[in-house]
Amino acid sequence: MAKSFSLAIYPWVYLAKYSKDKAWEEKYQEKPHLKMDEEAKLSDEDREQYIQKRNSFPELPLVNYTTQYGMGCFEGLKAFPQKDGSLKIFRPEENGKRMERSMEGLMMPAYPAEYFLKAVKEVVAKNAEIGFAPVYDPDWEKDDFIYGHAVYIRPFTYTEPGIGVAISSNPWVVIISTGVGSYFQGGTSKALISNRVRAYPGGTGWIKCDANYVTSALAKREAESRGYMEAIFLDAQEHKYFEEGSSSNIFFILKDDTVVTPALQDTILPGITRKTILTLAKDKGLKVEERKIALEEAFSEAREVFVSGTAAGISFIESITYGDKTAVFNNGKIGEITHDFLKTLKGIQYGAIEDSYNWMTPVKS
């Protein structure tokens, strides 16, 4: 089983710099590499040397507003191998628009969504041409593609040099990619409600901002150290309403089959998988509500719970614990509706189900 987020980036990367004349200067760069199968045969030490060279960007300044203050944003999206040998990216235009909004929210020059789409496709295509891409495996179908491999694409911003607290006027946008497998590696699917607060009203919770993920990482590590898969955050003001998972949106399916997810506000990230699930739910004839959902209602009325995101996909939650109370959903097993969402989403992404929504963008047109 492939690990998620292995830091062994593929050779072709993209860098764009916002220049002082208010234009984006773009370039593609090929990092040191052998053929993928040749690298796999190297000793661990030799392979690590290649990986370190690819992971290194000496042209980018070490001391800047990103490294010092978390002043940056990023995206995450995937390209999925298809049966015909091609690669298709899931809803990249949505990621491009969100990154543009995130940069505007951080008062940076905004990187245009049309640049984003072109660069993401080109990076994946260039790497695929030299063999750095997964190949479709029919065995993935038997588990509804839960263990399928994909190309994970990470666009991110990086600022010009700086030591004082300030915003960025001349950032870089960097796009790298790597192979990725299942995000949650099996075992427990229990969740723990964290006492930490992910985002406050008026803050950057709605931005896919670097700094937001510090609290998420701490909460998730605390949950994992106690035997849970996921950490869940409540609202900052009353600490009674659900907001998000550690790096994912959260959904509740009530006893009457109503699909409920917290309404978007400035403390919740507008997830692209979240948006996709809402569309699927409505088209499947389910009642959908975007609103506040309190602990008491979820614990007494929800019969299925899952989290969603680019990395997580759709991952069911068998139970949620808060203090000395634990609610178990669907006897600790994935529910029928959750499973249907998962099969539909993965099926579309890997080409096993017709993409009637035009969500999949071919890497090569």
Q: Which residues are catalytic?
A: 208
Rounded-to-integer distance, Cα 77 and Cα 90, Å: 7
Cα separation values, 280 from 75, 273, 341, 358, Å: 23, 10, 7, 13
CA-nearest of 7, 216, 280, 13 to 122 is 13
Sequence-distant (≥ 6) Cβ neighbours of residue 222 within 8 angstroms: 192, 194, 231
> Which amino acid is it at 316?
F
